[in-house]
Structure 1
Amino acid sequence: MRLLDNDDVRSVLDMRGTITALRRAYDDLRDGEATYVPRIDMFAPTGRPDDYYQWGSMAGVSMSYGIAAVRLKSDVVSWQGGTHEKYCVRPGRYCGLILCFRLTDGAPLAILQDGYLQHMRVGGAAGIGTDALARGDAATLGVLGSGGMAWTFVEAIAQVRELTAVRVHSPTPEHRTEFAGRIRSELGIDAVAVEHAEQAVRGMAIVATATDSMSPTFDPAWLRPGAHVVCVTRRELGDALLDHADVVTQLGIHTVPHGTDVPMMEWKAGAIAAYVAGRPEDRRRIPAGRAPERGAWPTLLDLETGRVPGRRSDDDVTVFVTTGTQGLQFASVAGHVLQRAEKAELGRRLPAEWFLQDIRD
């Protein structure tokens, strides 16, 4: 077994490699050589009145990399001030792990920290969706958010379109100013920080919203004809944007569809299928998924196989929802990382025997 931390992963994973791995995964999915288990969550009270324990899992297989991967996350969550907050053990610390297994003999191969890879796989998927739906001449980008996920969105979109200008808005002036400076210095693209969300959106060919907001992040009336919108979570979507758009496509199935008849299953925060423990007064603390979060639209695979049309004119407003197929993404990008980590002999080695036993389950 190989144990890889975020620094190990960062040393062998760039955005070009991420997008390549994801494209291979979606080729596998199209050809019947991949599959995935949608995300399912579990909630339990912590014993405190203002938060909840949340467990999440998703899994996938990609034949191109010969592995199965399971991503697990353990968080204490709260919903306050219009944002979704979380931590593990203490604020500023998090626990997310990717477990990888070899398909040919079932052997446990690796445990990876998921933080850096998580940001990269979401950004890479946003880039693929933007490539599929944005106008070919789209060269300007408005960004809402200035965190790690927003950075990978900019990186990925810059891989699929020749950007000439970026505008950045986030609530904290220092954060958005630093973010714009990083775009200029690392990507060589003219970027400015702006005070209001409208300034980041109005007139831009591509709009990326990458925030932890629990509600829509901008007014779709600000969008110019032909704009493309890409988001991190369904929480950032609103009915007005979905009504305004000519084309809405999602990456894939992101959870058990809302309303499926499964005993004890509920659709809570983010409209993710979940099993919930707790008394009625506890459960009321968990927000229910809004209608846009529960929506189902044609998938990237539908688009790429021609089952549904994509952009039909230069004036179409398109939306790409970067949720779904998470387990497949972890399998493919983790597989890509493992190939390079093995060549570079990265990480700590743990005896495989520690993870095997002589008792049949």
Structure 2
Amino acid sequence: MGTSHPDAAIAVPPTLFLSDADVAGLADWPLAIRALRQAYAGHVSPAMVPPRSMARGDGLWLRALTAVSPSGGHLGCKLISASMTHRRASYLISLFDQTTMGLSALIDGNRITGIRTAATAAVAVDTAAPQRPLRVAVIGAGFEARGLLLALASVRELAAVQVFSPTPASRERFAADMRSQTSLEVVPVASPQDAVRGADVVLCAARSRDESPVLRGEWLEPGMTVVSVGSTLPEQREVDEQVLARAALIVADMVDEVAHDTGDLLAAHLAGIDVSSRLVSLSDFVSGQVVRQNAFDIVVYKSVGSALQDVVTAEMLLARAREQGIGTPLAHSIVPVSK
């Protein structure tokens, strides 16, 4: 494209900057879950959510995830810069208006990563799990495990929750924290088998230090729904091959990346397990194009994260920020021009 004349500039509202503290104050589980459910129930083509890209240097990298929101409101990008040498990372989400191409917002994306992961998992579980108070097993006691449980509890009634972490103090602390934040009676247990026994839903957000699976297929019971968010790279493991072998459906937020870039799926391929015939997109599952055939089917939701989740969650936060007058309008911004 050629250079445009200055009089071709388009007037747009100021870009709003939302800090991590702003995001914390604006976060809302039911609203995030509703926005993501609407997004995945609509039309999401592969072109709207292309594969992520990564530039690598010596001990550092910059990852870019882009997506067009099916809401018609924004298109956006999440950038993650990280240095393994200095143990530092930054997350930035930019939102552009789909009509004016104006830069609507710049948002600290650190907290959004956890929000969108848990909220999208809640959408998957709500679609898959039986319509009754749910018995939940949590494997893991960190940030992601907390988010998964809080998000699910915001949209479904939970009858019982049991948590396992290999460190007794961690699972006790998790149980105490969840009791203080919710009305749930969360019970710490001594083994993952104890946590899983009798559950309707198994929330996995943990990896062992040696990357051996923390959830085994032999522990699963008919009708269970399994969420796995803790292994997103080829060298990482969270569930064993039998978990995937027993699943009637393997629901993925990014089908190609789950199939070819996650250690759990790669191990299943090496073991000769056919996963391709049972691997479906979250969009097809939420929209009802693919359904659980009977109550005894085991369904696994496998997540690597998606720019669609980041952009849709950021859109929800931006709308709330504008309603509440939160955020910092920037004095100068990108000026869209006619082309």
**TM-score, normalised relative to structure 1:** 0.77
CA contact (8 A) 1:28 1:62 kept: no
Aligned: 1:58 with 2:55: no
The residue number in structure 1 matching 2:213 is: 216
CA gap 1:138/1:5 in 2 versus in 1, 3 angstroms: same
Per-residue deviation, 1:134:
1.6
Aligned: 1:94 with 2:89: yes
The code of the aligned residue for 2:51 comes to P
Deviation per CA, 1:266-319, whole angstroms, max 9, x where unpaired? x6xx47xxxxxxxxxxxxxxxx983459965111222244443x3222222211
Aligned: 1:151 with 2:146: yes
- What CA distance in whole angstroms lies between the structure 1 residues aligned with 2:161 and 2:117? 20
CA-based RMSD: 2.9
Per-residue deviation, 1:138:
5.3
- What CA distance in whole angstroms lies between the structure 2 residues aligned with 1:257 and 1:176? 31
1:101-250 matches, cutoff 5 A: 101-137=96-132, 139-213=134-208, 214-232=211-229, 233-234=231-232, 235-250=237-252
CA contact (8 A) 1:253 1:323 kept: no
Per-residue deviation, 1:254:
5.8
- Aligned equivalent of 2:51, options 23, 27, 38: 38
Aligned: 1:298 with 2:274: no
- What CA distance in whole angstroms lies between the structure 1 residues aligned with 2:22 and 2:94? 15
- Compare 107-116 and 14-23 and name the one that shifted more: 107-116
The residue number in structure 1 matching 2:326 is: 346
Local SS of the residue matching 1:236: coil
Unaligned runs of 5+ in 2: 1-14
Unaligned runs of 5+ in 1: 47-52, 78-88, 259-266, 272-287
Per-residue deviation, 1:148:
1.6
Identity %: 30
- What CA distance in whole angstroms lies between the structure 2 residues aligned with 1:171 and 1:314? 31
CA gap 1:7/1:65 in 2 versus in 1, 3 angstroms: farther
Per-residue deviation, 1:154:
0.5
- What CA distance in whole angstroms lies between the structure 2 residues aligned with 1:331 and 1:16? 17
Local SS of the residue matching 2:50: strand
Residues matched between the structures, number: 311
Local SS of the residue matching 2:294: coil
Local SS of the residue matching 1:192: strand
- What CA distance in whole angstroms lies between the structure 2 residues aligned with 1:253 and 1:224? 25
The code of the aligned residue for 1:242 comes to L
1:314-333 matches, cutoff 5 A: 314-323=295-304, 326-333=306-313
- What CA distance in whole angstroms lies between the structure 2 residues aligned with 1:219 and 1:67? 41
Local SS of the residue matching 1:165: strand
CA contact (8 A) 2:119 2:148 kept: yes
Q: List structure 1 segments (4+ residues) > 6 angstroms apart after TM superposition.
A: none
**TM-score, normalised relative to structure 2:** 0.82
